[in-house]
Amino acid sequence: MQTNTSILTFPNDLPRAVSLIQSGECVAVKTETVYGLAADASNENAVKAIFKAKGRPASNPLIVHIASIDDMEKWARDIPERAYLLAKHYWPGPLSLLLKKQPWVSDTVTGGQDTVVLRIPSSDDFLALIASSGRGLAAPSANKYKFISPTNAEHVLASLNGRISAVVDGGKAEVGIESTIIDVTTDTPLILRPGPIDHHSLSVVLGCDVKYKNDGGVTVPGSVLQHYQPNTPVKLLSRTELESKTFSFEEGVISFSPMSLSVMQDNHIQLPSTPAEFSQSFYDALHQIDKKRLTCVFIEALPNTDAWLALNNRVSRVAAS
Ligand code: TXA
Ligand code: MG
């Protein structure tokens, strides 16, 4: 068992990170969405090490990150034209495509599914690591199972210090929430996880209807209701409820509407009121609240509009009990 995790920075430490990946170790690295925990997707033991470090169930598959559209065929078969359309439009970027897998892709990566999810991320650090190591890199978010996703290197260490070889400190992840996942194997493309790229934009680019997969069951194996959770208990309250509440000094608030509350000022995190800017700081706000060891954090219920859909998806899981 490693006792601590090296902190690397690129470009200086790129050769060291590449050699760790090539010898089957896990390295956390910034993507534009959140930090990912990367390992060689074609090395069975390396992929198993990701599951072990996170404490993640084996049935919950991993996204394979590649550096070029030409690499899609290494991992996926029967790739429909619309997958190339999306890849050319959005990659590198926060869109993950679910495709039929090539037979050789290991069940450990896909959680036993007949499909594989692919993405070209846009962060320079991650692209350099994929290209220089010359392989596809499996990477879930770099946090313990069900815990808050990390948007900087400190968040990664709060969760995985001593459990992984290294983290590449590339500063803050710009987008702040996980990629949109879309299944393009079905007649009507299905959004499996809402994210930074929204339904409208996808249907315009594809020139066809796009639906949300919402069959009442667990659609994406990892989409359990309790997810992205801080250690601090969370409750959702409306603005009016927050404004009329009397808070104890051990309670905190995360809000997006400017408001003055009876909560201690240090325990009130006021986030920006646009969805894109809120996303950039939301997980960091949860990490900050956890450090204060409060008895409860109240999150202002978000607007029920399309623009806030991906964030409502995350907030409802953060608050699920
Ligand atoms: O932005 C992101 O997507 C980040 C960065 C690191 O790329 N990754 C990320 O990975 O959020 P993870 O493992 O935390 O979430 C990926 C989700 C999981 O819920 C997983 O079940 C689903 O994608 N997934 C992956 N492969 C799948 C497959 N073959 N079939 C169905 N769902 C799949
Ligand atoms: Mg995750």
Kindly report the average pLDDT of the chain as a whole number.
Answer: 95
The residue range of the domain holding 269 is: 234-319
**What tens digit of pLDDT does each residue of 195-204 get?**
999 999 999 9
Tell me which residue has its CA closest to atom 17 in ligand 1: 222
**What tens digit of pLDDT does each residue of 240-281 get?**
999 999 999 999 999 999 888 999 999 999 999 999 999 999
| Domain contains 228 | no
Looking at the structure, tell me whether residues 36 and 132 fall in a common domain. yes
User: Per-residue DSSP letters for 147-201?
Assistant: BPPPSSHHHHHHHHTTTSSEEE-----SS-SPPEEEE-SSSS-EEEE--SS-HHH
Q: Is the pLDDT of residue 224 over 90?
A: no
Q: What angle do CA 96, 55, 138 make, to 5 degrees?
A: 30
Give the ligand 1 atom nearest the CA of 101. Answer: 29
The CATH number of whichever domain residue 262 belongs to comes to: 3.40.50
Domain count, the chain: 2
Probe ligand 1: pick from 141, 182, 229, max atoms within 8 Å of CB? 141
| Domain contains 219 | no
Give me ligand 1 centre to Cα 119, in Å.
Answer: 10
pLDDT at res. 225: 77
Cis peptide before 258, with omega less than 30 degrees from 0?
no
Tell me which residue has its CA closest to atom 19 in ligand 1: 222
- Provide ipTM, 2 decimals: 0.99
Looking at the structure, tell me whether residues 174 and 241 fall in a common domain. no
